[in-house]
Amino acid sequence: MDDYALAARVAVDLLAEHVREARDGLAPVTAQPDPDALASELEVERWIREGGMDAAALAKWLPRYLDATVRLHHPGSMVHQVGVPSTGAALADLIHGVTNNPMAKYEMGAAGATLERDVVRWLLEKVGFGADGAGVLTHGGSLANLTALLAARARVVPDAWRQGVPPDLALLAPPSVHYSIRRAAAILGLGEDAVIELDVDELERIRPDRLAGALERSAAAGRRPMALVAVACATSTGLHDDLRAIGAFCAEHGIWLHADAAHGASALLSDRHRHLLDGVELADSVIWDAHKMLRTSGLCAAVLLRRGHDLTGAFHQRGDYLFDQGEAIGFDVLDRAIESTKTTLGLKLFLSLAWAGERGLGDYVASRYDLTRRFYDMLSREPGVTCPYKPESNILCFRVAGIDQLAFRDRLLANGRLHIGSTTIGGERYLRLVVTAPDTDEATLNELVRALRASRAAVPA
Ligand SMILES: Cc1ncc(COP(=O)(O)O)c(C=O)c1O
């Protein structure tokens, strides 16, 4: 056996053991060692200077590395919106790591390019975009948002690519929109001041009945809307904007609707949950992160356009040695992506689908959404606990009376059994769960409830 096969076998065996331990909850869900102590434990300096790692050395080194990782497969892992890679998706990373085909040019990876084309077609179909739709996979939702808004900019100001951006553009978005949207406004040359905040309700959802007011504010500021951003679902709360009502308003006023469905679009695969995305097909652009609920590793996102020419029209570059479209066979996606070299993102999503099937992934999404609702029911019955809303997705926020929320979270982290997050809603601090791990169950929540009861009992009356 050559060195590669030997080392890969060592790594795969250790990883399989790591996943087993995590799934059984036998190892801490998270580790937060001191970085300098960790660097010394991992002998970082020596390996950089001297090299020489081989299969035998890896067998000793990798367990120490894995001990300092966050165990996403652990049932107590309920923090952030990070996918728990399925077997197929995890293997895709290994396959790409070896083959390394930069498939944005067909000639540089026919298999990867073909898979990307076909999974994008599948995503377009799920969103409800017709045969005119087009899309591309990107390294993450932030880049997908940027790409979508670049396309919106090209529609409103076709010359912006060459001449720059006029000072009168506005981007309409709710205040709690993911920060990548404001970043995109800055990167695209609009400047963050171009973001005009939409009116929202007490749970930060866009008020469709107040959209006209935002248009008036935009006009009063001497600006014209480049796009309106709605979210499905919101990062903090997991709640969905009313895409149908917002879509109708945008259609009436000729405004580009961008639906940031990075997290929530996966609910389209569940018969019982797809209604949450009702109206998504009215959007001009949609983003969808497979590395959230479709169980690929980071990164694997899609930007999807209702009219495909809006995507190809967003980029105006020709004549480079990479843009010669003279191939006898195949197609390139360099003309529709910000990245030049890309990993074979389509392979990750394809193998995740190939393992579970679209129904299997839909059942997984449904099971996590349903369990979150059961968590809500349990927490709502718990004295001293407030949940500000019924969860619509796998994101749930709650507050525990009489204790410092962040200190409670820190104690959980130190204990190593539960990893939860926190957020603010309407300026108030909440604890936040994102139920993603396939093995999280009611026993996990019982453990959380016991921990919060103990915390409350420890507070002097
Ligand atoms: C609604 C929403 N949009 C965009 C993003 C950014 O995605 P990424 O982290 O893949 O860049 C996130 C990430 O959590 C998100 O929740």
Ligand 1 atom nearest the C-alpha of 177 is: 1
pLDDT for res 216: 96
Token code pair at residue 372: 């979150």
**Ligand 1 centroid from CA 64, angstroms:** 30
Torsion angle of alpha carbons 438, 273, 143, 282, nearest 10°? 170
Ligand 1 pocket check: which of 139, 142, 143 to mutate, most ligand atoms within 8 Å of Cβ? 142
Helix (H) or strand (E) holding 432: strand 428-434
* Axis crossing angle, helix 87-99 with helix 3-23, rounded to the nearest 10: 160
Q: What is the pLDDT along the chain (461 residues), one digit of tens a residue?
A: 568 899 999 999 999 999 999 999 999 999 999 999 999 999 999 999 999 999 999 999 999 999 999 999 999 999 989 999 999 999 999 999 999 999 888 998 999 999 999 999 999 999 999 899 999 999 999 999 999 999 999 999 999 999 999 999 999 999 999 999 999 999 999 999 999 999 999 999 999 999 999 999 999 999 999 999 999 999 999 999 999 999 999 999 999 999 999 999 999 999 999 999 999 999 999 999 999 999 999 999 999 999 999 998 999 877 666 666 565 688 888 888 999 999 999 999 999 999 999 999 999 999 999 999 999 999 999 999 999 999 999 999 999 999 999 999 999 999 999 999 999 988 889 999 999 999 999 999 999 999 999 988 887 66
Nearest to residue 242, comparing CAs of 193, 276, 197? 276
* Atom 7, ligand 1: residue with shortest CA distance: 141
Q: Is the CA virtual torsion 33, 34, 40, 43 positive or negative?
A: positive
Nearest to residue 233, comparing CAs of 148, 281, 291, 292? 292
CA distance 26 to 22: 6
- 322-356 exposure pattern, b = at least 16 Cβ within 10 A, e = fewer: eeeeeeeeeebbbbbbbbeebbbbbbbbbbbbebb
Strands in 77-78's sheet, in edge-to-edge order, are 77-78, 419-425, 428-434, 395-400, 385-386
* Atom 8, ligand 1: residue with shortest CA distance: 141
**Ligand 1 centroid from CA 289, angstroms:** 7
Nearest to residue 99, comparing CAs of 117, 87, 111? 111
**Ligand 1 centroid from CA 83, angstroms:** 12
* Atom 4, ligand 1: residue with shortest CA distance: 141
Q: Is there a contact between 98 and 110 (Cβ–Cβ < 8 Å)?
A: no
Token code pair at residue 17: 């053991």
Ligand 1 pocket check: which of 79, 82, 143, 178 to mutate, most ligand atoms within 8 Å of Cβ? 178
**Ligand 1 centroid from CA 323, angstroms:** 30
Q: Is there a contact between 416 and 194 (Cβ–Cβ < 8 Å)?
A: no
Q: What is residue 270's three-state secondary structure?
A: coil
CA distance 155 to 273: 32
pLDDT for res 211: 98
pLDDT for res 320: 66
CA distance 385 to 391: 15
**Ligand 1 centroid from CA 174, angstroms:** 15
Q: What is the DSSP string of 182-248?
A: HHHHHHTTS-GGGEEEPPB-TTS-B-GGGHHHHHHHHHHTT-EEEEEEEESS-TTT-----HHHHHH
CA distance 128 to 122: 10
Strands (E), 324-386: 385-386
Distance of CA 215 to the CA centre of its chain: 29
pTM of the prediction? 0.96
* Atom 5, ligand 1: residue with shortest CA distance: 141
**Ligand 1 centroid from CA 144, angstroms:** 9
pLDDT for res 457: 84
pLDDT for res 319: 61
**Ligand 1 centroid from CA 197, angstroms:** 19
Q: How many residues does the chain have?
A: 461
The percent of the chain in helix, strand and coil, each rounded to the nearest 5, is 50, 15, 35
Nearest to residue 205, comparing CAs of 241, 175, 252? 241
pLDDT for res 332: 86
The residue written with tokens 């190939």 in the block is 354
Q: Is there a contact between 332 and 106 (Cβ–Cβ < 8 Å)?
A: yes
CA distance 307 to 133: 5
Q: Is the CA virtual torsion 194, 227, 260, 388 positive or negative?
A: positive
- Strands 195-197 and 169-173, by their bridges, are parallel
Q: Show the ligand 1 pocket: residues with CB < 6 angstroms.
A: 81, 140-142, 145, 178, 180, 231, 235, 260, 262-263, 289, 299, 301
**Ligand 1 centroid from CA 141, angstroms:** 5
Q: DSSP label at 82?
A: -
